[in-house]
A and B are shown apart, each in its own frame.
Chain A
Amino acid sequence: MAEATPPKIELRGIGKSFPLGHGQVRPVLDDIAFSARPGEFVAVIGPSGCGKSTMFNIMAGLETASSGEVLVDGDVVTGQHEHFAYMPQKDLLFPWRSILENTSLGLEVAGETKKTARARAASLFAAFGLSGFEDAHPFELSGGMRQRAALLRTVVQGRDVLLLDEPFGALDSLTRTDMQSWLQGVWSQNAWTAVLITHDIREAIYLADRVVVLSARPASVRLNLTIDLPRPRELSMTTSAEFAGYERTLLATLHEETLSPRGP
């Protein structure tokens, strides 16, 4: 904390073990440490089941860490929820609420009046490609639109940091590519600090300023790779030599990890 401006978020030595009963424990996270500058987009990749969602749950205050701390703007906020807006792996749009009511849910829960909450959410509908679907119900939307609605519900809360857990994991590759370039666009117009979990190495390089690679369970940070590609990013960049270089590095690190699983 000797620096002039502390990082927007910092994870210090986060560890987590789940009790399995009979005195046994399953270590899932082991000394996770990384940080993100204000407005930085950090992607996190790691082998399946290594503990990425668990790390998010700890940051969002849904799960207690066994050790370590979470800092926002230099202050310890471990266990607090109000700094992070969480977009879970499933879109979790509620069938009993219209899209507008779904997207304004976070503000309503935070105590805003229905009217203000809905007006705030409605003002983002155009940017999220959802105009005209305010009164539609979730089952009437395509997969890509549902993810955009879920993301709108996340960002409208106006929290310091966005936690996006595989937002595009369930989409077909064409829709996913569309969503990635769309997200790249809206992100560059807003100063969101975001952490994105993904299984898609190309998605990580294309969207992020930095890619954090986690090891197999119990997870620790294997690689913290800065992506030095100019912004705004074009889809054409994904075929550049630099892009391919990053891809090779990440693939090699990840490959080592998936081949050497540890722990119970």
Chain B
Amino acid sequence: MKNSITVKRATAPRTTALSALAPPAAILTALVITWQVAVTAGGVQPAILPSPQRILQQGWEARTTIWDNTLPTLQETFLGFAVSLTVAWTLAILIDFSPWLRRALVPLLVASQAIPIIAIAPLMIIWFGFGMLPKVIVIALVTFFPVTVGLIDGFNRTDRDAINLLRSMGANRWKQFVYVRLPSALPSFFTALRIGIAYAVTGAIFAEYVGAERGLGIYMAVMKNSFRTDLVLAAVAVTAFVSVCLFLLTYVAERAIIPWHSKERRSWHG
């Protein structure tokens, strides 16, 4: 009987990494070629719009500097996101257990998103200097909200009947949380995590842009001021690449932590 399962698994349609990457790669290539042709044929000045070829060439020559500036950005992103995750889980669990805290905190969380980061980030430099701290705060500030909301929502989406089943077994609130609410929330947590990580890199760049010692953000600002449009865009390309890698990493984590989720989904479609 086990055999029939194996067979079903093997024949279920599966998207390979290649077939997933091919369509976006094709469109990207087409865009880059168009850009190259337009710039070369139109005779646009490199300081205004450099060709992709030039960006690649100059970027490669400046690779050590760019790499030296990428590392701190990555560090800030990870640290900021770690802080954000800690805050998000703590808040979401507190809110899940206490109706009073839910009423008290949810409006404040929503209000926190009305803070214009663009105005606050320069102040952070005044308050906390040019080091790591203001960056971590900005990243945490822009990413904790989607993750917290995703978690709160995930906990709430638990089947009421499943809670009742646990209650009939004699589970207290804590056991209900551990056995049902937490696992039920994990799929929406990973969705929220993807939204958060997309904001995290942009947040880091932005925080550096207004003032930093090193990092891709300040690198872009400095290069812009010396009219090195090509190097600004090279740094943008690196940022985009980093974002995509982190985004893909969330899928790896999802498969490792909740393997049942993707298997179950595949069995519905297959």
Set B161, B179, B258, B263: member contacting A105, Cβ < 8 A: B179
* Overall SS of chain A's interface: loop
Q: How far is the CB of B265 from chain A (nearest CB, A)?
A: 9
Taken residue by residue from 134 to 175, chain B's Cβ proximity to chain A (1 for < 8 Å, 0 otherwise) reads as: 000000000000000000000000010110111111110001
Task: Given A92-B162, A94-B183, A132-B2, decide whether A137 and B260 contact each other with a Cβ distance below 8 A.
Answer: yes
Residues of A within 8 A of B264 (CB): 95, 137, 139
Q: Mark A117-146, 1 if CB is under 8 A from B, else 0.
A: 000000000000000110011011000000
Question: Contact at B5–A109, with CB atoms within 8 Å?
Answer: no
| A133 pairs with B1, CB closer than 8 A | yes
Ranked 9 nearest A-B pairs via Cβ: A86-B168, A109-B169, A96-B183, A106-B169, A139-B267, A60-B168, A109-B171, A95-B264, A139-B264
A87 to chain B, nearest CB (A): 9
Q: Which of B8, B161, B179, B180 contacts A88 (CB 8 A)?
A: B161
Is the beta-carbon distance between B5 and A62 smaller than 8 angstroms?
no
Residue A255, interface by CB 8 Å: no
Chain B contacts for A106, CB-based, 8 A: 169
Nearest chain A CB to B268 CB, angstrom units:
8
Please indicate the chain B residues that have their CB under 8 angstroms from the CB of A110 in the complex: 169-170
Enumerate chain B residues within 8 angstroms of A85, measured Cβ to Cβ: 168
Given A94-B180, A137-B264, the answer on whether A84 and B168 have CB atoms closer than 8 Å is yes
Chain A residues positioned under 8 Å from B63 (CB to CB):
none
Q: Which of B161, B263, B268 contacts A92 (CB 8 A)?
A: B161
Q: Does B255 contact A (CB under 8 A)?
A: no
* B interface residue count range (under 10 / 10 to 19 / 20 to 34 / 35 or more): 20 to 34
Residue with the highest number of chain A CB atoms closer than 10 Å, among B8, B170, B186: B170
Pick from B166, B179, B261: contact of A95, CB below 8 A. Answer: B261
With A94-B162, A109-B179 known as contacts, the answer to whether A139 contacts B263 (CB < 8 A) is yes
Cβ of B183: which chain A residues have Cβ within 8 Å of it? 94, 96
Interface string of A27-40 (1 = CB under 8 A from B): 00000000000000
**CB of B270, distance to nearest CB on chain A (Å):** 10
Asked if A62 and B167 make an inter-chain contact with CB atoms under 8 angstroms apart, the answer reads yes
Residue of chain A at shortest CB distance from B268:
A139
Most buried by B among A90, A92, A106, A109: A109
* Contact in complex: B168, A61 (CB < 8 Å): yes
Say whether chain B's binding surface is mostly helix, strand, loop, or mixed. helix
Sample of 8 A–B contacts (CB below 8 Å): A81-B167, A86-B168, A90-B159, A92-B161, A94-B180, A96-B260, A106-B169, A110-B170
| Set of chain B residues within 8 Å of A132, measured between Cβ atoms | 1-2
Cβ–Cβ < 8 Å partners of B171 in chain A: 109
A contact residues, range: 20 to 34
| Chain B residue with Cβ nearest A136 | B5
Task: Report the nearest A residue to B5, measured CB to CB.
Answer: A140
Q: Chain A residue with minimal CB distance to B180?
A: A94
Q: Which residues 62-117 of A have a CB within 8 angstroms of B?
A: 62, 81-82, 84-86, 88-90, 92, 94-96, 105-106, 109-110
The CA-CA distance from A95 to B265 in the complex, in Å, is 10
Mark contacts of B20-34 with chain A using CB atoms, 8 A cut-off: 1 yes-contact digit, 0 otherwise: 000000000000000
B165 A88 Cβ-Cβ under 8 A: yes
CA distance A57 to B8 in the complex (A): 39
Q: Mark A180-203, 1 if CB is under 8 A from B, else 0.
A: 000000000000000000000000
Using Cβ atoms and an 8 Å threshold, which residues of chain A touch B258? 96
Nearest chain B CB to A9 CB, angstrom units: 15
Most buried by B among A62, A95, A137: A95
A157 in the interface (beta carbon within 8 A) = yes
Q: How far is the CA of A95 from the CA of B187 in the complex (A)?
A: 12
In the bound complex, residues from chain A placing their C-beta under 8 Å from that of B180 are 94
Collect the chain A residues with CB atoms within 8 Å of residue B186's CB. Answer: 96
In the bound complex, how far is the Cα of B209 from the Cα of A123, in angstroms? 64
Q: How far is the CB of A250 from chain B (nearest CB, A)?
A: 28
CA distance A94 to B114 in the complex (A): 39
Report B-chain residues with C-beta under 8 Å of the C-beta of A84: 168
> Taking A105-B169, A105-B179 as contacts, is the C-beta distance between A95 and B260 under 8 angstroms?
yes
From residue A93, how far is it (CB to closest CB) to chain B in Å?
10
On chain A, the residues within 8 Å of B164 by CB distance are 57, 62, 86, 88
B170 touches A109 (CB 8 A): yes
- Interface centre among B161, B165, B167, B261, by most chain A C-beta atoms within 10 angstroms, is B165
Count chain A CB atoms within 10 A of each CB in B5, B168, B170 and give the residue with the most: B168
Q: Give the residues in chain B near A90, CB-CB below 8 Å.
A: 159, 161
A109 with B1, Cβ < 8 A, contacts A95-B261, A139-B263 known: no
Mask: chain B, 99-118; 1 = CB below 8 Å from A; 0 = not: 00000000000000000000
